[in-house]
Amino acid sequence: MINEVIIPILLLLADIVSTAVLVQVVLGLLIAFNVVNLHNPLVSGIWQALNAILEPLLRPIRRFMPNTGFLDLSPMALLVLIRIVIILLVYIGNHYG
């Protein structure tokens, strides 16, 4: 049961969150270098949606990470944690499913 239903769903969710993190990082760089502008309603909407989704995941990580000024390393830490969870889920699915 767990191998057939729950683990694939969790892996899909991990992929979606990983993609959202990458999009947020790229969009953040584009905003920082004035390639796109937050005055554009589409850009602003995407930025606000990504922040609403990812901020609850990034906030606890930021509490434990050192302040590096302009460079926020919490998305990279979140991607590493997601990858660890994926490895564990695959292991559980292969050995206990």
| 54 close to 24: Cβ distance less than 8 angstroms | yes
For residues 23 and 28, give the distance between their C-alpha atoms in angstroms, rounded to a whole number: 8
Instruction: Give pTM, 2 decimals.
Output: 0.90
Per the CB < 8 A criterion, the answer to whether 75 and 58 are in contact is: yes
Q: What is the pLDDT of residue 62?
A: 93
Average confidence score pLDDT of the chain: 93
Spatial neighbors of 82 by CB under 8 A, at least 6 apart, are 14, 17, 18, 21
- DSSP class of 60: H
**pLDDT tens across 43-57, in order?**
999 999 999 999 999
Judge whether 2 and 92 are in contact, CB under 8 Å: yes
pLDDT band at 1, cuts 50/70/90?
A: low
pLDDT digits (tens, 9 = 90+) for 3-20: 788 999 999 999 999 999
